[in-house]
Structure 1
Amino acid sequence: MLEDRRKRVLIVEDEAMISMLIEDMVLDFGCQVVGPAARLDHALTLALQAEIDIGLLDINVDGSVVFPVADVLRFRKIPFIFSTGYDFRSLPERFRDCPTLSKPFSYQNFADTLQTALATPDLRAAV
């Protein structure tokens, strides 16, 4: 995608079919899947311990909000993208500047957002 080493994408998504589609897209882009995590506790463990280049975080994961995972990634200076079927304008203030994909999103929209997030040094510094 951007370098010789495959980028590692943490996927946090509780809907199995959506997760499989996202995994396929990530692999199509030449990236490596981390996870996927369908529960907040698993997502937090991966966010704390796994080698990750970027996260794709469904905001509502099995009835819990994913913001603690986003906080961990931000602390580790790992960029992330939110995905949601809800109104993304209801994000907490600290996450309003984060890239967000509205579900359902297209292959091209996901590809563009992922490419931009991985390539933008300012985004890495901001998170």
Structure 2
Amino acid sequence: MNLMGRQVFTSPIVKSPKQRGFGCELIERAIPYEFDGEASLYFVSAGVEADFWIPSNLVQWGEIPDTLQEETSVKNAASTAVANEDIGAALVVEDNMLIAMEMECSLKTMGFKTVDSAPSVTRALKLLNSHHYRICFLDIDLKKETSFEIAYELVARQVPFVFTSGYDSKYPIPKNLKSMILIKKPVDSEKLKDVVENILKF
């Protein structure tokens, strides 16, 4: 299924931004991250055009309720602070895109040049097969699956990792993984920094 949206601005003439802001990043990443779909933004003189593609199996048709109230609180995780030292790449496995973006921002501020995110086991393993990471952060509960398969793969590759969880998981950590560090979400940037420095010894 293809969904297309267009908003036209009469004045001033729309120009492509020199730097992608949080809003653009959120629009372009949300659908691919959450639904494995596609999203593209185009800045043309007549206005901003957006193309969205969502897998048809995720679409359900029905009547719109008379009253639909939704409260959304979005924290801007964008940051202009970037560390001078490049300390490699990190992987964040997290099914909540906003939490993943916030962790990405914190890790890049510490000096990680590349921080990749994946919302599922399949996509995380695909990244592991094509990249080398100095450290990984694994949310235990990934919707209908856990990150334990990724954890065992990281143990085999001798890549350090940290579990994250926002609550008492219904999936107990296996005995042979209980020695791994677990930090609670939301992950405080200072706590994240302390954990990274302790593990990587820098």
Instruction: Please state which band the TM-score falls in when normalised by the shorter chain.
Output: 0.7 to 0.9
Aligned to 1:51: 132
Runs of 4+ with >2 A deviation: 4-7, 32-35, 86-90
Q: Distance in 2 between matches of 1:67 and 1:110?
A: 21
| Number of residue pairs aligned between Structure 1 and Structure 2 | 117
Bigger CA radius of gyration:
2
> SS of the residue aligned with 1:105?
coil
Q: CA deviation at 1:115?
A: 1.2
Structure 2 gaps, min length 5: 1-84
Kept in 1: contact 2:86–2:111 (CA 8 A): no
Structure 1 gaps, min length 5: 121-127
Q: CA deviation at 1:74?
A: 0.6
Q: Distance in 1 between matches of 2:115 and 2:149?
A: 18
Aligned to 1:27: 108
Aligned to 2:151: 70
Kept in 1: contact 2:166–2:186 (CA 8 A): yes
Q: What residue identity is the alignment partner of 2:172?
A: S
Choose between structure 1 and 2 for higher RCO, CA contacts under 8 A separated by at least 6 residues.
Answer: 1
Aligned to 1:93: 175
> SS of the residue aligned with 1:55?
strand
Q: What residue identity is the alignment partner of 2:157?
A: R
Q: CA deviation at 1:5?
A: 4.5
Q: CA deviation at 1:103?
A: 1.1
Q: CA deviation at 1:6?
A: 2.3
Q: Distance in 1 between matches of 2:172 and 2:143?
A: 18
Q: Give the TM-score of the pair, scaled to structure 1.
A: 0.83
Aligned to 1:124: none
Q: Distance in 1 between matches of 2:181 and 2:114?
A: 19
The 1:27/1:85 distance shift into structure 2, 3 A limit, reads same
Q: What residue identity is the alignment partner of 2:131?
A: A
Indicate the structure with greater helix content. 1
Q: Give the TM-score of the pair, scaled to structure 2.
A: 0.54
Kept in 2: contact 1:47–1:69 (CA 8 A): no
What is the percentage of aligned positions where both structures have the same residue? 27
1:88-123 superposed Cα distances (whole Å, 9 cap, x missing partner): 693110111001111123111111011111129xxx
